[in-house]
Amino acid sequence: MTLIRLNGLTINIWLRLAIPNSPNNLPPYIAERGITVDLGFVEKVVEIIKERANFVSDFWEQSSFFFTAPQDYDEQVVKKRWKTDSALLMIDLKKTILVN
């Protein structure tokens, strides 16, 4: 299963293969961490990361921040990139992801 490429042609095949064998019908990279989310949300995340993830094994590395809060961050990057309206943009992005 790890050799199936994550692109528009195979993403649905991967989800169909991965999900029936996992607890709560979730892909193994989520189920094995005890995370409970809606399958529709997982499909949206996969759709977002499919251009960056080449293999199923890349899934967690490329999408973990959608499912768990970061434990730490690079303060220098935040100082350089975070603007006064960044928090509002992130809230809007979250709403967009959850609605679509």
* Least confident span in 12-26, 43-57, 63-77: 12-26
Q: What is the total residue count of the chain? A: 100
Nearest to 27 by CA among 65, 58, 72, 54: 58
- Classify 42 as helix, strand or coil: helix
- For tokens 């995370």, name the residue: 35
Alpha helices in the chain, H assignment, sequence order: 11-18, 28-31, 39-49, 59-63, 75-81, 86-99
Task: Say if residue 88's pLDDT is above 90.
Answer: yes
Is this structure's pTM higher than 0.75?
no
Cα Rg, the chain, nearest whole Å: 15
pLDDT at 91: 92
Side-chain-side CA neighbours of 42 within 13 Å: the count stands at 22
Asked if 58 contacts 6 with a C-beta cutoff of 8 angstroms, the reply is yes
pLDDT at 9: 45
For range 62-67, the mean pLDDT: 88
